[in-house]
Amino acid sequence: GESVGLHLPTLSVQEGDNSIINCAYSNSASDYFIWYKQESGKGPQFIIDIRSNMDKRQGQRVTVLLNKTVKHLSLQIAATQPGDSAVYFCAENAGNMLTFGGGTRLMVKP
Amino acid sequence: DTEVTQTPKHLVMGMTNKKSLKCEQHMGHRAMYWYKQKAKKPPELMFVYSYEKLSINESVPSRFSPECPNSSLLNLHLHALQPEDSALYLCASSQVSGNSNQPQHFGDGTRLSIL
């Protein structure tokens, strides 16, 4: 889920399980969406993107789903690994301006 | 390793100091960005440069002064900062997209502390 506040929402999963991170976006004019992974002490790292003319896109172990009707984006990570532990941000792009969602912390239990 | 390089990694400065943050990319990107990120918050856009010209300034105080000397370099000049300016400052770059959006690639940031 997504929330802007003092505490990041946290998703805790067992190693090997699948993870689903959700994001709601606000701007109906946004036509491009990106998921970023941010590890401690690092900048956001590009994971996968999707354009508004698509509803699903797959990468290596990751899938992004876009539902424009309800302005919802999700990131699915298959066979989650300890190295996937990080904060995940969705971002919506309109006119070369990127607006980030609040972020979700993913914790992977060994 | 990121292809966007930011220096320094850490910076501590007093409120009367003048310092600069530097960002460099060699991916041929013609759009470059500065973001500010506070702890446990998402990055917030400050400035956008497109073809070395400032195209977006998100109402940033004048104590932050960006500069784009060439297509590979982006600076952020700092003067008379306040303690609340302490944050991670991120640089990003992307191709200039036209009608086809392109992802922004981020550096690892400069951790700035104002005393």
The 3-class SS string of chain A reads: CCCCCCCCCEEEEECCCCEEEEEECCCCCCCEEEEEEECCCCCCEEEEEEECCCCEEECCCEEEEEECCCCEEEEEECCCCHHHCEEEEEEEEECCEEEECCCEEEEEEC
Residue contact A46–B105, C-beta within 8 A? yes
Instruction: Give the integer Cα–Cα distance in Å for A95 and A93.
Output: 7
Q: Nearest CA of chain A to the CA of B40: how many Å?
A: 6
Residue contact A42–B105, C-beta within 8 A? no
pLDDT of residue A28: 86
pLDDT of residue A57: 98
Structure tokens at B62: 């004048």
For residue A8, give the nearest of B40, B44, B101 by CB distance: B40
Residue stretches of chain B with pLDDT short of 50: none
Q: Which residue of A has its CA nearest to B31?
A: A96
Residue stretches of chain A with pLDDT short of 70: 1-6
Residue of B104, B105, B110 to mutate for A, most A C-beta atoms under 10 A: B104
Residue B13 main-chain phi, psi, to 5 deg: -145, 155
Q: What is the largest CA-CA distance in chain A?
A: 42
Q: Which residue of A has its CA nearest to B37?
A: A43
pLDDT of residue B2: 67
Residue contact B106–A101, C-beta within 8 A? no
